[in-house]
Structures are given as C-alpha cells and as structure tokens.
Structure 1
Amino acid sequence: MTEPDWVQHAIWWQVYPLGFVGAEKAATSDPAAPHRLLDLVGWLDYAVELGASGLALGPIFASETHGYDTTDYFAVDYRLGTLEDVDTLFAEAHRRGLRILLDGVFNHVGRSFAPFQEVLAAGPEAGTASWFSLDWPDGAGPGVEPGYRDFEGHHHLVALNHAEPAVTDLVVEVMQFWLDRGADGWRLDAAYAVPASFWAEVTARVRVSHPEAYFVGEYIHGDYAAEVAAGGLDSATQYELWKAVWSSLNDGNFFELAAALDRHTVLLGSFAPLTFVGNHDVTRISSKLDDARLLPLALVVLLTVGGTPSVYYGDEQGYRGVKEDRIGGDDDIRPLFPPSPEDLSAIGQPVFALHQELIGLRRRHPWLHRATTEVLQLSNEVLSYRAVDGDDSLMVALNLSGAEQRVDAGGASTVLGGQAAVDNGAVILPPQGWGVLD
C-alpha cells in the first residue's frame, strides 16, 4: 500500500470550479469577472462545517471550454483567475486543515494545446509530432492536418501518445509543479484510457520528491484492483458501488447492493476506493432516485462502508440535476453556486444536516476507511450489515419498504444515528428508515 496516512481521514467536498463560479462556456482572455477562483475562499468554512477534510477541484488549468480540453497545464484558466489566486485558495484551505486534490487531464488535450498547434503548423517534421498518434496523408507537409486518435470520438479532444518519453516528462513536470505550489494529490481523469505502465512510471518519479502525494484514477469498469496495482496508484473511483446504491433502492433489490458490498470488501483488501453517490459526470443522486425519501439510505451506505468518501457540491443541499447526452448536457449538474453560504435556500438544510450527522459519525470512527462489510440480514427491501476493522465494528440497518421492519440487532445495543430503536435484541426500523448501532 502506498496510500499516505492522511488519506485515512480524508472526506472530499468535490467542486467543479468553472460551473461553481459561473464562468463563460468558452475560453476568453477578457472574462466578465476576474479572480473568480477566490469566490471559493468564502466557501471553505462551509466545507469545514459540512465535515469535509479536503477540497477536490475539477479542472482549473487553461482550456478551451469545459476544462477537460487543456491548452496549458501550467496556466490557470483566465475565466478563473491567476496563479496568485490559486496560491491564495490553497493557503486558505490548508489554514483550515483542508487538503487539495487536483483534476489532471493527462489522456488528452484540446486542439489549442501548443504542441498540437506546432504539429498543425509544421506538419510531419514538427518536433512534437511524436506526442500524438497521427495519420498523415501522402505528401503531407506544413499546414496539412493529420488524422489523429481522439478521446472516445470527441474530435476536439486530441489523445496523447503515452509511449512518448516527452509526454511522460511533461506529466511528471506538471504534477510536481502543482504539488510544489501546495496541492496534495491528483485525480487522474480517464485513467482507464491510459496504459498502466505510464501511470506507474509517472507516479514513481513524482513520489521521489512528493512521497505524501495521493493518486486516484478514474476507472468506470474493469479490474480496479489490478489497474491500481499496475499503475502504482492509491485508489480508483468506485463506480460499481455507485451504481448498486441507486439501482438497488430504485428496484427494491438489496441483493444487488449486497453483491456490490461483497465486491467492495475484496477491493479493500488491496486499496481504499474513492466512494461517491454523485460527481460532475453523473445525474445527481436526488434526481437519480425514484423516491426522494430513500436519499438518506444512499448516504448511510456512502458514509459507513470502507473507502474515501466524496460529496459533490450541491448534493449536500439536495440539489437536483440530470445529465443528458448532448452538447451542454453537463450544465445541469455543474451549476453556479450562490455568492455565499448565507444565500443558500433553507430547503436544503435538512439534507445538509443529515450529511453533517453521517460525516460526523464517520470522523468519530476513522477506522471505517478500511472497514469491510459482512451482510447480516438480507431481503429485497431490508438489509443489515456489520462494518468491521479489527476489533472495531458498527451495525447498519436499512429499510426501504413502506412498513416497519424488525432486524436482528446482532449484539448491537446503542443507536448512534437514525430513527431506529432497539427492543429485545431487535432493531426496529420505521418505513424508509435506517439506523447505525454499536
């Protein structure tokens, strides 16, 4: 295990900066408002109040549109601000005990990325031609555009050639540059599209100067444990568990969640996955659930199973938003936030309070970071499990049915959270109720 010790206590509040601050949809050197990144400073105390111990930032580097089409890894997007603004944000976050996780888009770049523009200008003889996977027409020369490998059919996203040593050197340099400025780790966007051998070399080189850096890869499917090990990473995004949480609640099928928890326990034998019920790429959990009354059950799972939890900004307020497969289809899930926490609607307060309760419970039991789960009772609509790490354990009971349910307490006697009650060795759960017990 290479995971830094501090990650055991990490609970991320994930923010997509370009949306959070209401930036223009496309790059501009003359944004309507300067230094927007500093707007986040006013939300750091809110993150602490939520219970988070880290700020996971979406792309902040110069890009063409949504941030995942990078044009300069060493520059801050003009729509967000300056390097000095980043320094201020990092310093203010660290002053409050908040770690910083940056979003590194190293599989592909935007067409305006200078080395690719060099290719377009100079043709096959460009010094950076080997940085990309290119297909030149016969007789190509300066000014002729080649065919090139892109990211999943998005022609404006030019895939890098990860077999090129200069690309490896670039990514190492970028990571070190931002870690030197105060970042604590990297989320590796589309890590699944990059050879594991590339990540292994990059992370090994970066850890020489930054042994406490944290690396989590975005993996949607596949053998998470094998990818993490082969890439020298610390973690991977747990999409399997995310899907099982909302799907089992919608279908009234806790057998799916129980199977996912078994799989999750296997993963915890080698690494602690990054867990979530929402992020910048998926429909918000409050919109994903057919019955909004079941939202607390999803949050209970997130914050009582092993892993490193992440809360996507707005989810803690019960925000709704649907991702659509179209241009601009992410806008609904990457919204502008109010100027300050005082401007939030009171409608979201109950959901915020529930997050605080569950995050507080988790922070009082930091061993949950590596806890495995043992299913105790299982039916379509009732699930109880024990979260265990060594001599430490908690019992969790969930009821998604519309009727009161009795669950064997399994020796637990003290209710730590939820609406449950204990009676003669049984946990009494109200309709759509939950309980965490010791």
Structure 2
Amino acid sequence: MSDCDVWYHLFPLGFLEAEEANPDPGGEHRAVTHRLPALVGWLDYLVGLGVTGVLLGPVFESETHGYDTVDPLRVDRRLGDEADLVALFEECHRRSLKVGLDAVLHHVGRRHPHFQDVLARGEQSAFRDWFEIDFGRPGHDGFAYTNFEGHGQLVKLNHANPLVLDWAVDFANYWTQRGVDAYRLDAAYALPVDFVAAFAERVRAARPDLFLVGEVIHGDYSQIAQDARLESVTQYELWKAMWSSLNDGNFFELAHALERQAGFCERFTPWTFVGNHDTTRIATRLDDKRHLDLALALLFTLPGVPAVYAGDEQAARGRKFDRPGGDARIRRPPPEAPGQLSGERLASYLRHQELIAARRQRPWLAEGEVRVVGLENRLMTYEVRNDGASVFVALSTEDHPVSLQLPPGLNHAAGHGDSHLPPHGWGVWASE
C-alpha cells in the first residue's frame, strides 16, 4: 500500500443494475450477462477524480446480494465471466489503479455445493465438518446449523477445519494471480483472529505486498488488527462521530473520536469513510447540506486510508432501511454518467477532486499525528503533523462568521482561504 492511496468503493451488482436474484446460482446452464465491461467506461472518470484504487464489492457467483456465495472461483453470471473481470483488472492497472475485491470467508450461501451435499446426505456427507452443524438438534432442514447474524441463507463455515482455511487461501491466491492487489475481509469482526492471521500469512507468501482490510463494526479495533495481521480495519467509530457531531452541533464527540483515531494510528492504519454499501448516504444523513464539505475535509485530512463510496462524489442521496432489500437505494449507480455532471453534482465532484489532490500532495497525512487545537460545541480546529510538516483544519457549524487564529507560516490548501470563516465554513492550510 502507498501512503497516498485513496480508494473508490463500488458495489457492482447495484452499480451495474443487475437483477436482484441469480436465476440459476451454481447451475450449469449459464446465461451470462456481460455487465462488467461497462465499468471500464468509468475508469478515466475515476483517474480524473484522483483515486488510486478501486474496491469492488462481491463479484462472485451468488444467490442474491453477493454475500451468499455459491462459487468464489466463478464470476456472477449477472455481471459477466472471468475474462470480463480480468480485463477490468488489466484496464485498471493500465491506468495505475489498484484493484481490491471482497473476500467473504465467514459464510456461504445455502446453494453452495458443499452445503447442498450436506442437505442431501446429512451426517454421511463428506462436507459435514465444513459447517457448524448440530445433527442432534431439530431444524428447518432436519438439523440445526449456525448462520450469520440470524440470516438463514448465510451458512457459517467451520473455521476450525483446516480444509476451510485451504479453501480460503486457494480462492485468494487464484484471483491474486489474475491481478488483485487487495482484499476486504467481509465480517472480519466475526472471524476467528487465528484463522485470519493464518490466512494473511499464507496469502502474503504468494504476494508480500497484498493489502488486507477487515470489516470491523465493533470490538477492539487495534487488537483485532494486530492479532489478525491486518494492515487496516474499517473505522466505524470515526464515521459515526463525523456525521453525528455535524448534525448535533457537538464537536466534543468528534474530538473524542479523533483522540481514539490517534491511538489507533499508532498500531495500524484505519480505513476511513463517510459512506459505504451498508450505510445511509452521507448527503442524506447530514441534516444541513452545507456540512457535506466539512465531512469531506475530515475524510481527506485525517490519518488513515480514505475511501469514497461510489456516488458520494456526486452528492448522491439514498437511505438504508432495516428490512430485506433495504440496501437497494444506497447501491444504485451514481446519478450521472461521466461527462454529464452539472450543478450540485459537478460541484461535489470538484470538491472531492480538490481535497483528494491536496491529500495526495501530502502522502505523509496517512500516518500523521492528529491533535485538536481549539474546541467549542460548533467550532473546531485541529492539526495533523508528521516530521515537521503540518496541516491545519478549521470547521464551523455556527450560523455566524467566526475569526480564527491561524498558525504562522501556513499556506491555503483548500476551502475558505482566510482567517474569517463564513457561517458553516471550513478551511485547510498547510506548511508546504
């Protein structure tokens, strides 16, 4: 991973408007729809935005949303085939864009052939030890099995079985050999850390610079990252504090999160974001649309590995609902195609472009040390320093102008350019 990496995270099944359900998951009669080549038409747009990598959500053969995997060595027929995916990798690399994939190692879909064999043969199945099954306890299928967080369609793997680890490593190595640079480990917080650590050791034996980020929603981020040997984990604490503090006019919450962020950065590099495929869009979440720029200033000046969720760069709207299919609105394609942006959508794209450029000019920000300088309910200033270089950031949700005391020797880098912030204003200044 490079210090100046900025990722673009997209959910292919939604971005490419695929059908909600796979008509024949795992079957032999594969009617393939070649949607993946359409992503190539977005790559120059992403280069112009300034990102350095593309993280793809689930792309492998599955039943519905991609996380109910049926075959991780075959591309989902709703998206295309292996040739389409490898061609996309090559087009990304031709533009110096890295490629990351979702690795779903905690569970599989019910239509996975190993679980289908268990359903057919019961205790006589050669794959009975691949899953956490209690044949002595009644269940819908004649026995009970462990699933993922109450979702019966997602069958938990038995990570104590060494064959499961071999399967996970073989999957990762297969796609790494075809050009993958990174994996996002789905539901890493639910995976045994010794399993993830063994996986990380073995896949890095084949590709030492392979970047691994774990999805960690709750738990001890630092301990999980360290014990599981992950370079990064998702920083949900910071995500929540950013939009919540802006909505509530309470920068004290954010200050606490920044103190926590500083501690995390001493042990790993957090994956930072203002939205992803599981969260309400930031432009919807914020009560005041003027605060969108403030959230972006945070994302691109704080230490970590920042990621832009597809469509957020166009200020896309969408709310996540806690119901089946409740993710649909946040997984749609960006509102406008490349070359067609105007108005609010163009302004948001240009703001992202400006801040990403400012960050990439200062790659040391990824591992900088953050310190809150001034703190009021609705006004905050902080600085990020590293080896004598510094960035100073001011954020205001006040309804009136505010005056700042800027440190000497700084130059304007983004946002408002002088020490007098307008209502709901922000600015970034840097020492170089």
Asked whether the two chains share a fold, i.e. TM above 0.5, the reply is yes
2:314–2:349 Cα contact (<8 Å) kept: yes
Which of 15, 20, 29 in structure 2 is aligned with 1:20?
A: 15
Counterpart residue type for residue 51 of structure 1: G
TM alignment of 1:246-265, pairs within 5 A: 246-265=243-262
Distance 1:138 1:317, change over 3 A: closer
- Give the alignment of 1:175-214 within 5 angstroms: 175-214=172-211
| Corresponding residue for residue 280 of structure 2 | 283
Q: Report percent identity of matched pairs.
A: 47
> Which of the numbers 420, 429, 432 marks the counterpart of 2:424?
432
Written as runs of structure 1 = structure 2, the 5 A alignment for 1:334-413 is 334-337=331-334, 340-344=337-341, 346-413=343-410
In the TM superposition, residue 122 of structure 1 has moved relative to its aligned partner by 1.0
Q: Deviations over 1:181-220 (max 9, x none)?
A: 0000100000000110000111101111110100000001
- 294 and 339 in structure 1: CA distance in 2 versus 1, 3 angstrom threshold: closer
Asked if the contact 1:31/1:79 (under 8 Å) is kept, the reply is no
Report what 1:149 is aligned to.
Answer: 146
Q: What does residue 41 of structure 2 align with? A: 42
1:420 aligns with 2:417: yes
- Give the letter aligned to residue 282 of structure 1: T
| Contact 2:416–2:428 (CA under 8 A) maintained in structure 1 | no
What is the aligned residue count? 426
Distance across 1 between alignment mates of 2:372 and 2:137: 63
Structure 1 residues 88-131: Cα deviation after superposition (integer angstroms, max 9, x where no partner): 10000000000001001110110001111111111112111101
Q: Quick one: distance in 1 between partners of 2:335 and 2:279? A: 22
Amino acid at match of 2:369: T
Closer/same/farther in 2, CA of residues 138 and 148 from structure 1, 3 Å limit:
closer
In structure 1, how many angstroms separate the alpha carbons of the residues matched to 2:160 and 2:187? 17
CA distance in 1, matches of 2:302, 2:247: 20
CA contact (8 A) 1:24 1:31 kept: no
SS of 1:119's equivalent in the other structure is helix
CA distance in 2, matches of 1:388, 1:135: 54
User: What is the CA–CA distance in structure 1 between the aligned matches of 2:220 and 2:335, rounded to whole Å?
Assistant: 40
Bigger shift: residues 24-33 or 342-351: 24-33
Q: Deviations over 1:381-431 (max 9, x none)?
A: 11001111121111111111111111221224421111131xxxxx22111
The Cα RMSD (Å) is: 1.7
User: What's the offset of the Cα at 1:222?
Assistant: 1.5
Output the CA distance in 2 between the equivalents of 1:43 and 1:379. Answer: 42
| 1:263-287 residue CA offsets vs partner (Å, 9 max, x unmatched) | 0000000111000000000000000
Matching residue of 1:97:
96
Give the aligned residue type for 1:27. N
Once the 2 structures are TM-superposed, how far is the Cα of residue 343 of structure 1 from its aligned partner? Answer: 4.3
Query: Tell me, what secondary structure is at the counterpart of 1:435?
Result: strand
Work out whether residues 137 and 143 of structure 2, in 8 Å CA contact, stay in contact via their aligned partners in 1: no
Q: CA–CA distance in 2 between the matches of 1:344 and 1:108? A: 40
> Aligned partners of 1:31, 1:346: CA distance in 2, in Å?
43
Inter-CA distance 89–376: structure 2 relative to 1 (3 Å threshold): same
SS in 1 for 2:111: coil
Q: Structure 1 residues 62 and 138 mapped into 2: Cα distance closer, same or farther (>3 Å)? A: closer
Whether the 8 Å CA contact 2:9–2:56 is kept in 1: the answer is: yes
Q: Is the 8 A contact 2:239 2:274 kept in 1?
A: yes
Separation in 2 of the partners of 1:437 and 1:74? 48
Distance 1:224 1:307 in 2: 13
- What does residue 119 of structure 2 align with? 120
> Which string of whole-angstrom CA distances, capped at 9 and with x for unpartnered residues, describes residues 343-386 of structure 1?
45544000000000000000100100101211110000110011
Quote the Cα distance in structure 2 between the aligned partners of 1:305 and 1:159: 36
| Structure 1 residues 123 and 414: CA distance shift in structure 2, 3 A | same
- Report the CA distance shift for 1:392/1:79 in structure 2 as closer, same or farther (over 3 A): same
Structure 1 residue 9 displacement after superposition: 2.1
Q: Kindly indicate whether the alpha-carbon contact (under 8 Å) linking 2:4 and 2:359 is maintained by their aligned counterparts in 1.
A: no
| Cα 1:339–1:385 shift into 2, 3 Å | closer
Amino acid at match of 2:424: Q
Contact 2:31–2:77, Cα closer than 8 Å, also in 1: no
Asked if 1 retains the 8 angstrom alpha-carbon contact of 2:137 and 2:144, the reply is no
Alpha-carbon distance between aligned partners in 1 of 2:281 and 2:324, rounded to the nearest angstrom: 18
Amino acid at match of 1:7: S
TM-score, normalization: structure 2? 0.96
CA distance in 2, matches of 1:308, 1:269: 14
Compared with structure 1, are the counterparts of its residues 379 and 211 closer, same or farther at alpha carbon in structure 2 (3 Å cutoff)? same
Structure 1 435/87 Cα, relative in aligned 2: closer, same or farther at 3 Å? same
Q: For 1:352 and 1:298, locate their aligned partners in 2 and report how far apart those are by CA, in whole Å.
A: 14
Which amino acid counterpart does residue 373 of structure 1 have in structure 2?
A: V
Mark the CA change 1:409 to 1:208 in structure 2 (over 3 Å): closer, same or farther: same
Pick closer, same or farther for the CA change 1:405–1:340 going to 2, 3 Å: closer
Q: Bigger shift: 144-153 or 333-342?
A: 333-342
Q: Match of 2:237, SS? A: helix
